Structure 1
């Protein structure tokens, strides 16, 4: 995870410490050092933390994740605990709770994951310097992660989520997308969501839902998959579609010729990723299912973008990859 020392969040971390003291019943719990903000996410605030004389449950270097939506936070925590029990390389959750008297947001405390994304600090210009590493490692690591996620058993997950406001099934996800589209008066997008739900495949596996290079932290030969807020139970092509979309259409800046070459490299990486996934799983890629997955992801991103537009908050999301990808997402959704 990547330190971001420029963020001043003393109030948040003080409130989190008070919430954790209350949750664990350890009123004298204190920081071993000031919490260090971590970058890498658009939704949650994250901090690198350690405690003085902690209980066994809170020993070591940990990550505090502060989340604005309690329902999504509870869902993410449940899914992350499930896939950790399956043996997937994800941070173990040490503690978690919803909003309370001390902190007005949900939170979780998990193991610190060493490493950083292979594309850390990437720009259109620097991409060319990293081409050898990208071509060699990136497709393999992503394909390994995808195949391992898809081998996780779904057994028991729906039961674990039974008391939650949010379910994991992709059809439920598409209905929530449709409901959000209706709330901003985009009935056309709501219709798209319901049509895509009728095309869902019967094959269902756990999908990360946001499987891109920045959610995969690499430390030498080890990798850790983070951020489970977008997980669903769906056709495995759902994950493959998102990963290839992000590889083939990298949201990079720079001059037009540089971006054009970056897209060529990105398309090669996307194809290599798919071929490696096929080799690891012995499951052939279905182009029609892949196209379905890309349309689902284009739809969910566009509904989010139109929601920001309707709320007048688009400028607050500056730097989000959906903004750079908007023309491509619109073109993707219009194809049949």
Structure 2
């Protein structure tokens, strides 16, 4: 399969100058499928001098790829650890497509240096100057409605989340990823690149951080999560008490997903979650 087979009928809506040059050499490219997610098919585009990723949202999910493209442009220009965006458009079936740089393979290992690096990368996203986003119209959703929607059918969890969100004083002034974890980080030659911006929005960085800490704690272990948490505390102005409150919200989000749409559960996952719930002073007993 060549690049032309996939890209020849794409109606490009926005593309960079670099993309014009790349498409001009499309005949030299070879495309191979990569492991996709629940939302899209993903292909690696190999050319003589570069490698790209071509993503097609041809499943049920319909995120705003024009928004992702514009946000990626701004983040990349400011030196954030994200893929370089080249173009977005529509295929003949009106599925949205995105062309970006290829930035390695999913993160498979961790040590204090790596954990500190990926914590700093997320903080760089949160610290992106607000004026760089003013022309993009990045959405700012109601926190509870987005992460704990009523259609989720979990009124107890939503009630607890609403109370904790009120106590926390949720803000929506910073760019957040919305689902930051190792599966959305690529590694290549000691660099770590953040991918999958489906949930990008203006939100509260403390929740973004807390969710990523919780996912690391559940699936990688307490030793790693404590080093990771310490990195955020050392590199930001957030307090341990703040993070514990937002980790409680993250726990409620994990429980909601576990009860509804599903989230990975392995042999010891539930016992780990039970321990996390028991240790958090903001959460009542009996949630799991």
Same topology, TM > 0.5: yes
Change (3 A) 1:279 1:291: closer
**Kept after mapping to 1: 8 A contact 2:67/2:136:** no
Distance 1:74 1:174 in 2: 25
Give the secondary structure class of the aligned counterpart of 1:160: coil
Structure 1 gaps, min length 5: 1-9, 53-58, 121-133, 251-262, 309-313, 315-319
> Residue 201 of structure 2 corresponds to which residue in structure 1?
232
Show the 5 A alignment for 1:245-324. Answer: 245-250=214-219, 266-281=221-236, 283=237, 285-308=238-261, 321=264
Give the secondary structure class of the aligned counterpart of 2:63: helix
| 1:76 maps to which of 53, 63, 68 | 68
More off after superposition, 237-246 vs 326-335: 326-335
Distance 1:187 1:24 in 2: 42
C-alpha deviation, 1:42, in angstroms: 4.1
Distance 1:245 1:220 in 2: 27
**Kept after mapping to 1: 8 A contact 2:185/2:194:** yes
Change (3 A) 1:103 1:197: farther
C-alpha deviation, 1:249, in angstroms: 1.3
Distance 2:173 2:235 in 1: 18
1:39 aligns with 2:30: no
**Kept after mapping to 2: 8 A contact 1:40/1:214:** no
C-alpha deviation, 1:40, in angstroms: 6.3
C-alpha deviation, 1:95, in angstroms: 0.9
1:243 aligns with 2:212: yes
As a proportion of its length, which structure holds more strand?
2
TM-score with structure 2 length normalisation? 0.74
Note the alpha carbon deviations across 1:29-79, whole angstroms, 9 max, x for none.
855344211226443321101479xxxxxx842111122433343443333
As a proportion of its length, which structure holds more helix?
1
Change (3 A) 1:151 1:45: same
Change (3 A) 1:41 1:157: same
**Kept after mapping to 2: 8 A contact 1:31/1:51:** no
C-alpha deviation, 1:109, in angstroms: 0.6
1:49 aligns with 2:51: no
Show the 5 A alignment for 1:177-256. Answer: 177-179=147-149, 182-198=150-166, 199-202=168-171, 204-250=173-219
Note the alpha carbon deviations across 1:14-38, whole angstroms, 9 max, x for none.
5x42442666899998553442112
Distance 2:82 2:24 in 1: 30
1:138 aligns with 2:138: no
Change (3 A) 1:271 1:184: closer
> Residue 7 of structure 2 corresponds to which residue in structure 1?
17
Give the secondary structure class of the aligned counterpart of 1:90: coil
> Residue 107 of structure 1 corresponds to which residue in structure 2?
97
Matched residue pairs, number?
268
Distance 2:225 2:204 in 1: 18
**Kept after mapping to 2: 8 A contact 1:146/1:277:** no
Give the secondary structure class of the aligned counterpart of 1:89: coil
